[in-house]
Chains A and B, each alone.
Chain A
């Protein structure tokens, strides 16, 4: 039993390590085209629904792609600064990945808060159900059972 538990624990630890490694691993230096693709895939096409600037063929998306390429080529702004530049012009609805500050942060924090609350409620419900002891029969219950048994034995004799 103890060995089984340690195997599960080791597996959990391994998964956590792999996730941490995957999340922090650097993909190496990006080419200009990689940067353009990365930035445009974070921006929503302002005239389409649900399409990124990266995939859209709409003229507004093409204009944004050209501007991103120009700014990447000029090398004066970081990826975040280019995204902010476009956001300042078109508004926050152009961001496909909401910011983690201000009202937008609710998009990230609310699901986590709801999940934590739901898990807490579930755990407390399970604990409550588990701690319920089998109730002892009352005097009335015992009387009823006795009467029922007596009736059954009378029927059997009859």
Chain B
């Protein structure tokens, strides 16, 4: 008699756990374009010393004083292609702002020629940084592109967005950060 009750209790608990798991799966949002956590948030940005695909030197340390947006990109990645027009709009908006952010593309596992072709077809005249051995991606913990990072004028990492950007997300987040952290 006692074991009968025990079986009922155990099976009810298992059923409840399964229902809860199913519920979590149903309500969880897709991971695209999400503001993501990172141990680097609030920390000094990793050092980036590289060159652009046009062989211009780049040192992230020297960009202090400006908001910097880094977009990790590959010309064959579909979410990167999909979000590109949003980045063009973002760059245009920031160009008209006195305190506008500087946008940089970090080329991830792609050839300079393919990146040049992509930008000449789709627009976007900001600098594209070489990351031939993936050192920049590893320094930021980027495993999949696209990823977008925001660094404040003090050189501290403030935002990480994983996956494809949604319309207005970057602008809204940057405005919020400017209000919070601009001195």
A67 within 8 A of B: yes
Taking the closest CB of chain B, its distance from the CB of A95, in whole angstroms, is 13
Interface string of A63-107 (1 = CB under 8 A from B): 110110010000000000000001011110000000000000000
A70 touches B139 (CB 8 A): no
- For B108, B135, B138, B144, the residue with the greatest tally of chain A CB atoms inside 10 Å of its CB is B138
CA distance A89 to B149 in the complex (A): 13
Known: A88-B39, A89-B39, A89-B40. A47 touches B134 (CB 8 A): no
Looking at chain A's contact residues, is the secondary structure mostly helix, strand, loop, or mixed?
helix
Q: Are B138 and A64 in contact (CB under 8 A)?
A: yes
Say yes or no: is A59 at the interface (Cβ < 8 Å to chain B): yes
> Which residues from chain A contact B101 at a C-beta distance below 8 Å?
none
Is A63 a contact of B134 with CB atoms below 8 Å? yes
The interface on chain A, measured as residues whose beta carbon lies within 8 A of the other chain's beta carbons, has a size of 15
Contact A47 B135 (CB under 8 A): no
| Residue contact A47 to B39, C-beta cutoff 8 Å | no
Q: A86 and B109: CB pair below 8 A?
A: no
A67 and B135 contact, Cβ closer than 8 Å, known pairs A88-B39, A89-B39: yes
Q: Which residues on the A side are within 8 Å of B142 (C-beta)? A: 60
Contact B143 A46 (CB under 8 A): yes
Of all chain A residues, which has the CB nearest B137?
A: A63
What string of 1s and 0s marks CB contacts (under 8 Å) between B81-102 and chain A? 0000000000000000000000
Q: Once the chains bind, are B138 and A91 in contact (CB under 8 Å)? A: no
CA distance A73 to B106 in the complex (A): 25
Contacts of B40 in A (CB 8 A): 88-89
Closest chain A residue to B109, Cβ basis: A59
* Count of inter-chain pairs, beta carbons less than 8 A: 46
The answer to whether B140 and A59 have CB atoms under 8 Å apart is no
Smallest CB gap from A58: residue in B:
B143
Q: How far is the CA of A47 from the CA of B143 in the complex (A)?
A: 6
Verify A91–B141 contact, CB threshold 8 A.
yes
A47 proximity list for chain B (CB < 8 A): 143-144
Q: Which of B108, B137, B141, B144 has the most chain A CB atoms closer than 10 A to its own CB? A: B141
Residue of A nearest to B140 (CB): A89
Contact B144 A91 (CB under 8 A): no
State the CA gap A70–B139 with chains docked (Å): 12
Q: At the interface, yes or no: A51 with Cβ under 8 Å from chain B?
A: no
Q: Which residue of B lies closest to A87 (CB)?
A: B39
Q: What residues of A have a CB within 8 angstroms of the CB of B137 in the complex?
A: 60, 63
Distance A88 CA – B109 CA, assembled complex (angstroms): 22
Whether B138 lies near A63 (C-beta < 8 A) is yes
Give Cα A46–Cα B40 distance, bound, in whole angstroms: 17
What are the residues of chain B within 8 A of A66 when measuring CB–CB?
133-135, 138
> Which residues on B are within 8 Å of A, measured CB to CB?
39-40, 108-109, 133-135, 137-144
Given contacts A66-B133, A66-B135, 5 further A-B contacts (CB under 8 A): A59-B134, A60-B143, A60-B144, A89-B39, A89-B138
The 7 closest A-B pairs by CB, nearest first: A63-B134, A89-B141, A46-B143, A60-B143, A59-B109, A67-B138, A90-B141
17 A-B residue pairs with Cβ-Cβ distance under 8 Å, sorted by A, are A47-B144, A59-B108, A59-B109, A60-B134, A60-B143, A60-B144, A62-B134, A63-B133, A63-B135, A63-B138, A64-B138, A66-B133, A70-B135, A88-B39, A88-B40, A89-B140, A90-B141
